[in-house]
A and B are shown apart, each in its own frame.
Chain A
Amino acid sequence: AQKITQTQPGMFVQEKEAVTLDCTYDTSDQSYGLFWYKQPSSGEMIFLIYQGSYDEQNATEGRYSLNFQKARKSANLVISASQLGDSAMYFCAMRDLRGGGADGLTFGKGTHLIIQP
């Protein structure tokens, strides 16, 4: 079974600062994917970034980067130069890749990020 742990229920960050959202995971699978989604107050789920377990480089997408430490089973999201529009819930998720597209995502409980001006 897979498990995602996000230990920060809420965070306050000053605008333009960098922010790190923590995520640790547990799995017995060898090939898996790690994801971050953003959920604004409007409710939709917005995909941010993906990291495969065999990827040697940390994933980056614009202001988002994923600090992947496989031995520690952590996949922290780093947002550089935070903006007011970054205020939202952030969910870390994972899934097994062996089954192709069949497996659903396992989500953590989320971190509520609030960017202050």
Chain B
Amino acid sequence: EPEVTQTPSHQVTQMGQEVILRCVPISNHLYFYWYRQILGQKVEFLVSFYNNEISEKSEIFDDQFSVERPDGSNFTLKIRSTKLEDSAMYFCASSEWGVGWENYEQYFGPGTRLTVT
């Protein structure tokens, strides 16, 4: 069964450093998402991406964050200057095209645990 993959599974970085989290969505999916989950808290939506541009973003997704689809398979989340509070599990998800009221399930990757020291 096709699945979303994420690398690395765990990343440790120092405060102020840039990190890039990588995701390979399911190949025929067109919508891509990033979520984060601070330890012990709920999952929070960061951004959705379609047709090489951001579709929606939350207020968490400020100027230090950016997303990119650098090639036909990868989808990346860049955090420009990490802060301690960026420590969290970051989930990538993808879904097929959703039109109108149709729902397409969002398939989640296994997550990248980011630790900022």
B-binding residues in A (CB < 8 A):
31, 33, 37, 43-47, 50, 52, 54, 91, 93, 97-110
**Bitwise interface map of B from 87 to 109 toward A, beta carbon under 8 Å scored 1, else 0:** 00101010111111111111111
Q: Known contacts A31-B101, A45-B108, A47-B107; is A101 also within 8 Å of B30 by CB?
A: yes
> What are 24 A-B contacts with C-beta separation under 8 Å?
A31-B101, A43-B110, A45-B43, A45-B91, A47-B105, A47-B108, A52-B101, A97-B101, A97-B102, A101-B31, A101-B55, A101-B96, A101-B97, A102-B50, A102-B56, A102-B98, A104-B35, A104-B47, A104-B48, A104-B58, A107-B43, A107-B44, A109-B41, A109-B42
Interface of chain A, main secondary structure: loop
Complex: chain B residue closest to A55, CB-CB: B103
Shortest CB–CB separation between residue A59 and chain B, in angstroms? Answer: 11
- A107 and B110 alpha carbons, distance in the complex (Å): 17
Contact between chains at B42 and A104 (CB < 8 Å): no
User: Which of A54, A102, A108 neighbours the largest number of chain B CB atoms within 10 Å of its CB?
Assistant: A102
Q: Lowest 9 CB-CB distances: which A-B pairs, in order?
A: A104-B45, A101-B98, A101-B31, A102-B55, A45-B108, A100-B98, A107-B43, A33-B103, A107-B42
- A31 and B99 alpha carbons, distance in the complex (Å): 12
Contact between chains at B48 and A44 (CB < 8 Å): no
Q: Tell whether B111 is near chain A: CB-to-CB under 8 Å.
A: yes
Q: How many residues of B contact A (CB 8 A)?
A: 37
- A84 and B107 alpha carbons, distance in the complex (Å): 24
- A101 and B42 alpha carbons, distance in the complex (Å): 21
Contact between chains at B100 and A98 (CB < 8 Å): yes
A-binding residues in B (CB < 8 A):
30-31, 33, 35, 41-48, 50, 55-56, 58, 89, 91, 93, 95-111, 113
Choose one: A45, A97, A106, A108; the contact of B103 (CB below 8 Å): A97
Contact between chains at B42 and A108 (CB < 8 Å): yes
Name the B residues within 8 Å of A99 (CB-CB): 55-56
Contact between chains at B50 and A54 (CB < 8 Å): no
Name the A residues within 8 Å of B110 (CB-CB): 43-44
- A60 and B85 alpha carbons, distance in the complex (Å): 39
Name the B residues within 8 Å of A43 (CB-CB): 89, 110-111, 113
